[in-house]
Amino acid sequence: MGPNTNYKNFMGVSTFMKKLLQKLNKPSAKYSILALVLIGAVITVAGVVVMNKSLHYFSQTEFCVSCHTMKQNYEEYKQSIHYSNAKGIRAECVDCHQPKDFVGKIWRKMGAYKDVYHHFVTGKIDTPEKFEEHRLELAQKVWDRMADENYKTCTTCHSYEAMDHDKQSVQAMKEMIPAAKENMACIECHKGIAHELPNMAGGFRKTFETLTASAIAPAGAKKLFSIEEKSLFATADANGKVEGQLLPASEVEVIGEEGEMLKVRVQGWIETNGKGRVMTEYMGKRVFKATVRGDVKATETVISEEVDPATNIAWKQVAVNAYITKDHLVQSIDPVWDYASEMFASTCNSCHAAPAPGHFTANGWISSLKAMSAYYRLSKTEERTLLKYLQNHGSDTGGVGAH
């Protein structure tokens, strides 16, 4: 194709564009320009009115609960303070679930297609039983969306600046004053304000199931971490006598392998004048790592000796050799901490905002977690893992989960 051909093509396109613009700019032979402007204005106004009326209709509580899977949510909402209160102020569905600004409102409407899709197409939530099964997942999406929107649906009605703490109850004042100082989000303490809280354990327990499925020590691994309690043996026999326990989230060094067993080195601290059975992660801190006895205890070697300046108690850093099975072991502590962090958010933060892990010392977390134990339902292993996470992220252990 030569240059003349390209030039002719360019001129042809240019001529076409000129003719098109001339037609668009040419006055209508049938209607005056004023009539066309008025018709356009009427169509625009009609469009705005129709859109406004449509948004109003689709934003009514009656429409929101017209889907039968929302009936249970509606009944829960009717029992809440947002539905009936001394001041006679009612927050409708859209007040909490839909931003007031136009862009946020349209975006929320567009996002609602997922609920419709899962109700009518996939059938994922088309019955109350199925909805209940996925309640935690759905609730978490709402909480995440509120956080992404900086909780503007909450702050439309509530603001710290407008609060008169003297008119609040003693308990409310006790909670709200520090919350106002830290500018905490409403949802941090009030997740169950309008609807029944989902089973918060469902999320982190599924995470643990996934973690367990892949927690098999790979060949050649030199450093491993336990995800739950593991028995310590003095010989490479999983049916032999148990000579101790390795606690969750504890590190071991692999020094050998015999069949289906790993020979490991467990290092930690014990009190010099104690019985020497309990091994801790740190000197002077009750961050328990393992218990040892019998023939495993007999392999103990002393690495160093120190005196804790805070208590004047003598400690020994020691190491023991033992055998463990290859299951429930991971190469990085990070997935264990992620699981424990999710557990912390699901249990300790489900009613009121819990302090950050770095708020207490490692030893301080023992009594603090015990004080909250009446408000959560965890197994002994889960509780030990959670405590280990909090202690390893405490104010005196680096705050980063370091071992």
Binding residue numbers for heme: 64, 67-68, 93, 96-97, 154, 157-158, 186, 189-190, 348, 351-352
Binding site membership: which residues? 64, 67-68, 93, 96-97, 154, 157-158, 186, 189-190, 348, 351-352
Per DSSP, the three-state class of 71 is: helix
Angstrom distance (rounded) from CA 104 to CA 94 = 12
Please provide the DSSP assignment of 164-228 as one string.
-GGGS-HHHHHHHHHHHHTT--GGGT-TTSSSPPP-THHHHHHHHHHHHHH-BPPTT-SEEEESS
Angstrom distance (rounded) from CA 101 to CA 105 = 6
| Angle 155-352-105 from CA coordinates, rounded to 5° | 30
Cα–Cα nearest to 74, from 141, 131, 148: 131
Half-sphere exposure of residue 119, counting CA atoms within 13 Å on the CB side? Answer: 12
CA distances, 56 to each of 2, 97, 109, 143, 389 (Å): 62, 14, 12, 24, 48
Which position has the token pair 């901490």? 337
